[in-house]
Amino acid sequence: MSDQNVRNAGFTPSGIAGGSLASSMMSHEARSSGGGVPSGGPTSTLQGMGAKGTTHSSGFTSSGISGGSKASSMMSREATSHGGGVPRGGTTSTVQSI
């Protein structure tokens, strides 16, 4: 995953771009969680990466998640909290897909 992919999706240093994939994700996530975007969810995670330009060192790569990285820790925590699997539409799978 590159910083440019994250920015192209609408997660930018100046915030989420209107009319973008990012704004659609934010809207969907807010509706499903009762009106707010939860900290640590896909939208906030990607926005943090887009604002800081740190995707290249996070461990989300085009060939998968790098072992021992922030991404692998995130995936492990998410799998543990969901009974052993990473849920479709969860933070890890969403960030990896972008």
The more confidently predicted of residues 92 and 12 is 12
**pLDDT tens track for 32-90:** 888 888 888 888 888 888 887 766 677 778 788 888 888 888 888 888 888 888 878 77
Residue 17 has pLDDT above 90, yes or no: yes
- What residues make up the domain containing 17? 1-96
Number of folded domains in the chain?
1
Please give the pLDDT value at position 56.
63
Q: Where does residue 91 rank: exposed (0-12), middle (13-18), buried (19+ CB within 10 A)? A: buried
**pLDDT tens track for 64-79:** 888 888 888 888 888 8
Angle between helices 21-32 and 42-52 (to 10 degrees): 140
d(CA 47, CA 29): 13
pLDDT level of residue 18 (50, 70, 90 thresholds)? very high
